[in-house]
Structure 1
């Protein structure tokens, strides 16, 4: 006998039935309170929605956030932190060009120092060889005629230093070509800005005070400096190992080190460009 008010599996038509009978004679169990009701908030009636406080996701299942702000919450502009102004495509390109100018000029200086070290070794070796030849002529009493003088010996170390200096010059040539490309890019941005302003649009500068044309003028001036300096270094590389004049070799060496065609204003122009584009702070 099954006690009255008890439900057994035999009384259920199907084990997978969706409805479960409550024991007869017993009061229905209240549902466990959760969510707003557990905190003392009034329960929602049928057909109503319970407001969800912004930023609280611990007590509301299924709550999702969009990128940056919770769903269903409007964020006023005063709530966010101030951000940098969004730059246009042309302004970002000018800013990148300024950084490229800085990197290329720093690489040039490092190559110039390496090239000077190599050129100094070449000059010292040439001076040493010339001194040894003079000592040999004095020891022989200048008895040998011009046809009897021995041919100069092959100096492998000198040849290696010349190859190293030539390799340095190749890297400097690549840097100068990149500088010319930066200048042409800046010229294109300047032309685009002129065309844009010609249509009656705003002529405000991209950054602080510099007009777009001034970026091109500075780039062109820097590019011309390094182009002339590269031509001088090409002459030095061609002649420094073949000259027998000690004074001329010293002139080559000092010209390589002090770079007469690169003016002192080049660093000032670079720093001004970095300051204008925001890479340097006041």
Structure 2
């Protein structure tokens, strides 16, 4: 009797097929295509961000080493390292502009496509827009930190200040594991990652 009850309580999960999976040639059109393209663009932009972040972290580390010798001294090497960090931040600034465009595009698409049906696996347009906005907002906040580090690290008066700014750059506190999970959710839902 208990075995029969257990069988009736659990039902197999039925996953809806994504339009991406249903389309043999992967030729999507309309809002679905635009949303999927924005998701891909965000992922590619984040990869460029990560490359610049790592490059900047190396400059920040070298600035910290230079300032550790004499925190109050401004050497030509420090000026060169700060200039290199400035170039990294300028490249991040262009990425920040792209993030703002993605946010505007997805919100405009959401207003045009008022359909509340699921677009891919589980998310409707509103859900995709919210995910993208959360991801983009985290990177926009992190960009402010990068600018703050650039403006202050070379002028730090103590080793503790220098280490604080170096940690701020490296840690990326606004880009948490939750944001990375949202990015993976977006990629899975839009068909850029395979559901295993």
TM-score by length of 2: 0.82
CA shift for structure 1 position 87: 2.3
Residues of 1 paired with 2:167 and 2:85: CA distance?
15
Q: Distance in 1 between matches of 2:58 and 2:150?
A: 13
What is residue 192 of structure 2 aligned with on the other side? Answer: 279
Give the secondary structure class of the aligned counterpart of 1:278.
Answer: coil
Partner residue of 1:46?
A: none
**Alpha carbons of 1:165 and 1:233: their partners in 2 closer, same or farther (altered >3 Å)?**
same
Aligned residue for 1:41?
none
Cα deviations across residues 100-124 of structure 1 (Å, max 9, x unaligned)? 1111111111111110100111111
Question: Residue 85 of structure 1: CA displacement?
Answer: 6.5
CA distance in 2, matches of 1:206, 1:225: 24
> Out of 63, 70, 83, which is 1:129 matched to?
70
1:86–1:127 distance in 2 versus 1, CA, 3 Å: closer
Residue 206 of structure 1 and its aligned partner are, at CA, apart by 2.1
- 1:212 maps to 125
- Are residue 87 (structure 1) and residue 28 (structure 2) matched? yes
Cα root mean square deviation, aligned? 1.8
Q: Shift of residue 156 of structure 1?
A: 1.9
Cα distance between partner residues in 2 of 1:232 and 1:277: 30
2:119 paired with 1:178:
no
Matched pairs, number: 173
Q: Which structure 1 residue ranges, 5 or more long, are not aligned?
A: 1-81, 134-151, 198-202
CA displacement 1:9-45 (0-9 Å, x = unmatched): xxxxxxxxxxxxxxxxxxxxxxxxxxxxxxxxxxxxx
CA deviations on 1:33-82 (whole Å, 9 max, x unpaired) are xxxxxxxxxxxxxxxxxxxxxxxxxxxxxxxxxxxxxxxxxxxxxxxxx8
Residue 270 of structure 1, aligned match among 180, 183, 188: 183
**2:112 paired residue number:** 192
Residue of structure 2 in register with 1:157 after alignment: 77
Structure 1 residues 281 and 245, CA gap change in structure 2 (3 angstroms): same
Q: Does 1:99 align with 2:19?
A: no
Higher-helix-fraction structure = 2
Q: Is the 8 A contact 2:99 2:140 kept in 1?
A: no
- Structure of greater Rg: 1
2:60–2:166 Cα contact (<8 Å) kept: yes
